[in-house]
Amino acid sequence: MSRPDGSSGGQRPVGPRSLGGHSRDSLPSLGDFRITDGPRRGSLVVLQLTGRLDGRAAQLLQQRCNEVRTQGVQHLALELSGITFLASSGLGVFLAETEEFKESGGSLHLVAASSVVASVVNLLNVGRFLSLVPSVDDLVVKNSR
Amino acid sequence: MARKTQELPKPELAAQPQGGRQSRAPAGTGAERGSGSELQRHSLLSFFELSKELDYSLNIYDFADRALFNFMGHLGTPHSALWLLPPDDPAGLVLVRSHGLPESVARQIGAQCMETLVDLLLRDRRIQLRDDLHRIFTADEMELLRSRGLSLFAPLLAPDRLLGIIALGTRPGDRVDPFEIEVLQASVEFFAVALQNSIFYHELQESVRELRQANENLQELDRAKNEFVSTMHHELRTPVTVMQMYAESLLEELPENSSQRAHLKVVLKQTEKLKKMLENLLDFSGLSGNRLEVHCQAGDLGLALQQYYDNRRNGVAMTLHDFRLALPDGLPPVRFEERRLRQVLDILLDNALRFTPQGCHIVLRAAGDDTVGSPRVRIEMEDDGPGIAPDMLPKLFTPFVQVDGSLTREKDGLGLGLALAHRLVQAMGGEILAASEIGHGMRLSVLLPRA
């Protein structure tokens, strides 16, 4: 089926249109937040996040993570170097999805957290709930040892 | 392999001021964690963000997610759950969303622990901390809440009633800062007002939709009435015409001036009158083609289903049923009439809503179906409600029959819906099938021919 936004693959299109429940025209703007597919590393799927991760973006991210999980992907890395703002909702999704991936026998990793991410993580002392790694290479090398 | 990456030693964050903080035992006070003013700033920012994130047109499930993610990031916890109290059943909490704990556990906690909290939350109207609730919870309940990381319970209050309850974790080992609780209390109150507004908005939307549907049903009823009149006209006119023919030939055979002839003329006159009345009856009903008319053409079924889903999803969420759409890519084109298909889907969805309890899941999906001779596409409406016995299935599509035929049956309605859906699908050249088992939900499938 041809998608109105030109995307392909997956059960549902990724992008503002996949936020079911809105009529398409009334969808709030997502600002500059983007999710792009990074290079896949073996069983590890990488998504690159850029822009402001606020409430609306957080919900989009959660839906994308959910899609990835239902497609049977076990290990997901979110590359965060391009995140310019992290709202509580964004952190909430990181925490919730880390639990969800654990629950389904997999793992979620936060890669190259920018200072905006790191400062919130430190402030709330939630590093112990999250897997924070400096780079995807680190993750792959350490994992293959 | 699944757990491998979890076992990685956690690298330090580049921006972390002093290494090793994460692996250290949890700090005892907020002051050790970060400066108090930074935490307060974070709390206030969370509140401001929430006020931008809630949009009245969101449905209940999206609303719940927006708020729960915000609150989780506000407090720094991976655990949360939200239950709502349906207005028509203030005793039963319905789980809407849970994060960081399995749905089944969240349901159990709702039934076992949250229902005992309803009175307290209504009276106190404030956030309650688990560790202050020893008098209310048993030791087992306390342990259940503790093991699932839930330590704080917030009421969602409308002016006249409790809308629901939110449960959240807090950072283990950290003292909860009173300022954080104060801001969270404001956030939750704000969220409750926004939720109430959203409920009003969707109730209005639903009323409009129901009125439209009622109007369509009336048109359908009008059509059925016309069909009935047309049939009766045909059935009555034939014997009247025969009577008239025989009376006329009898009249020709009778001698002039016979009294029988006068009587027969009366019969003929009355027959003529009866025929006229029948014609008038037909004219009065304004009948022309009064059969069930369907105009099928090749169309994009995926798009039609997506639009249907977008249109109904928020309204369905109001009834506290989780409604989802599962569409594969590349559905082949199908022959259907969109208005009629919508009518059929409405009937199937309303059927699922009426016969499944709140909190159940309903999935609308489509897939190619090549198992039978001609290639078709299968549309399914599946629920995980109580289901019905397989031997009752054939009765489903019979008019005026509800499977629960007892006088005390819970659901009203004439039992016309599925019969009409059956006729509509047949008129589009398709087939409708039902599958169910007691305790295992129900699946209604519509098979439509490919274009």
Name the residue among B3, B16, B77 with its Cβ closest to that of A95: B77
Cβ within 8 Å of residue B439, ≥6 positions away = B386, B387
Provide the residue type at A109 as one letter.
Answer: H
Q: Are B54 and B125 in a shared domain? A: yes
Check CB contact of A131 with chain B, cutoff 8 Å.
yes
Q: Which residues of A touch B330 (CB under 8 A)?
A: 1
Residues B264 and B151 in one domain: no
Cβ distance B53 to A54 less than 8 Å, yes or no, reads yes
- B93, amino acid identity: L
Q: Chain A partners of B79 at a C-beta cutoff of 8 Å?
A: 99
Does any domain span residue B423?
A: yes
> Is A136 part of the contact surface with chain B (CB cutoff 8 Å)?
no
A37 min Cα distance to partner chain B (Å) = 19
Counted domains in chain B: 3
Does the beta-carbon distance from B8 to A139 stay under 8 Å? yes
- Does A131 have pLDDT greater than 60? yes
**Of the ranges B52-56, B99-103, B145-149, which one carries the lowest mean pLDDT score?**
B52-56
Cβ <8 Å between A139 and B5: yes
Question: Could you tell me if residue B364 is inside a domain?
Answer: yes
Domain boundary among B263, B285, B307: B285
Residues B230 and B379 in one domain: no
Q: What mean pLDDT comes out for the span B178-196?
A: 93
Interface test with B, best of A89, A114, A128 (most B CBs within 10 A): A89
Q: Let me know if residue B438 belongs to a domain.
A: yes
Interval B178-194 mean pLDDT: 93
B252 and B377 part of one domain: no
pLDDT of B304-321, one tens digit each?
A: 999 999 989 988 988 889
Q: What is the DSSP string of B97-120?
A: EEESS-HHHHHHHIIIIIHHHHHH
Selection from B144, B151, B181, B155 nearest residue B84 by Cα: B155
| Band (B9; pLDDT cuts 50, 70, 90) | very low
Higher pLDDT, B173 or B283: B173
Distance between CA atoms of residues B382 and A11, nearest Å: 18
Strand pairing of A75-86 and A44-53? parallel
Distance CA A28, CA B438 (A): 43
List the structure tokens of B383.
Answer: 């629920």
| Domains within chain A, CATH numbers bracketed | 25-144 (3.30.750.24)
Q: Which residue is closest to A20 within chain B, CA to CA?
A: B310
Instruction: Please list every residue in chain A whose beta carbon sits closer than 8 Å to the beta carbon of residue B302.
Output: 1
pLDDT of residue B390: 87
Tell me, yes or no, whether B363 and B249 share the same domain: no
Q: Is residue B350 part of a domain?
A: yes
Residue type, B425: V
**Residue B273 is part of which domain span?**
217-285
For residue A76, what pLDDT is reported?
A: 96
Task: Give residues with Cβ within 8 angstroms of B115, minimum separation 6.
Answer: B91, B93
Nearest CA-CA distance, residue A14 and chain B, Å: 13
Same domain, B118 and B170: yes
What is the pLDDT at residue B273? 81
- Report the pLDDT averaged over residues B91-101: 89
**What's the pLDDT tens digit per position in A10-69?**
333 333 333 333 333 334 457 889 999 988 888 899 999 999 999 889 989 999 999 999
CB contact under 8 A, B329 and A10: yes
Q: For residue A141, what pLDDT is reported?
A: 62
Query: Where in B9-84 does DSSP place strands (E)?
Result: 80-84
The percent of residues above 90 in pLDDT, for chain A, comes to: 52
Interface check for B20 against chain A (CB to CB < 8 A): the answer is: no
Residue B279: pLDDT band (50, 70, 90) is confident
CB contact under 8 A, A59 and B66: yes
Name the phi and psi angles at B275, rounded to 5.
-65, -45
Q: Which range (A111-115, B224-228, B298-302) has the least confidence?
A: B224-228
DSSP-assigned letter for residue A41: B
Task: Tell me what pLDDT residue A138 has.
Answer: 82
Is-contact A70 A11, C-beta < 8 A?
A: yes
pLDDT in the model for residue A48: 95
Local structure of residue B331 (DSSP, 8 states) = P
- Residue A72 CA to residue A76 CA, distance in Å, equals 11
Indicate yes or no: CB of B13 within 8 angstroms of CB of A59.
Answer: no
Q: Is the pTM of this model over 0.80?
A: no
Selecting from A23, A96, A107 the residue whose C-beta is nearest the C-beta of B6 gives A107
Mean pLDDT value across residues B280-305: 72
Please determine, for residue B134, whether its predicted confidence score (pLDDT) is greater than 80.
yes
Q: Quick one: B350 and B408 in the same domain?
A: yes
Bridge-based pairing state of the strands B361-369 and B431-436: unpaired
- Dmax over CA atoms of chain A, in Å, equals 50
Q: CB B404: neighbour CB atoms within 10 A?
A: 12
Angle, helices B36-53 vs B60-75, to 10°: value is: 170
Nearest chain B CA: its distance from A65 CA (Å): 14
- pLDDT by residue (tens digit) across B370-419? 665 678 999 999 999 999 888 888 888 876 555 554 443 455 444 567 87
- Which region holds residue B245: left if phi is over 0, alpha if psi is between -120 and 50, else beta? alpha
Which positions 282-301 of B are in contact with A (Cβ < 8 Å)?
A: 300
Residues of B whose CB is below 8 A from A10: 329
Query: Minimum mean pLDDT among B53-57, B236-240, B432-436: which range?
Result: B53-57
Which of B11, B66, B68 is the closest to A133 by Cβ? B11
Mean per-residue pLDDT for B139-149? 93
* Dist. CA B126–CA B154, nearest whole Å: 7
* Distance, CA of B177 to CA of B29 (rounded, Å): 9
Confidence of residue B232 (pLDDT cuts 50, 70, 90): confident
Taking CA atoms, what residue in A is nearest to B72?
A: A92
Choose the mutation target among B1, B13, B16 for the interface with A, i.e. most A CBs under 10 Å.
B13
Distance CA A110, CA A116 (A): 13
Tell whether B265 is covered by a domain: yes
The verdict on B160 and B223 lying in the same domain is: no
State the nearest Cα–Cα gap between A101 and chain B, in angstroms.
10
Do B304 and B416 lie in one domain? The reply is yes
Q: Is A40 on the interface with B (CB under 8 A)?
A: no
Task: Give the β-pairing of B361-369 and B376-383.
Answer: antiparallel
The string of pLDDT tens digits covering residues B318-368 is 888 999 999 988 888 999 999 889 989 998 998 899 889 988 999 999 988
Give the model's pLDDT for residue B211. 92
Q: Is A125 on the interface with B (CB under 8 A)?
A: yes
Question: What is the structure's pLDDT at B23?
Answer: 36
Which chain B residues contact residue A138 at CB under 8 A?
11
Which is more confidently placed, A141 or A40? Answer: A40
Residue (of A37, A100, A48, A110) closest to A69 by Cα position: A100
Q: What pLDDT, on the 0 to 100 scale, is given for residue B90?
A: 64
What 3-state class would DSSP assign to A52?
strand
**Cα B95 from Cα B30, distance rounded (Å):** 32
Domain boundary among B247, B264, B285: B285
pLDDT bracket for residue B18 (50, 70, 90):
very low
Q: What pLDDT shows up at residue B224?
A: 78
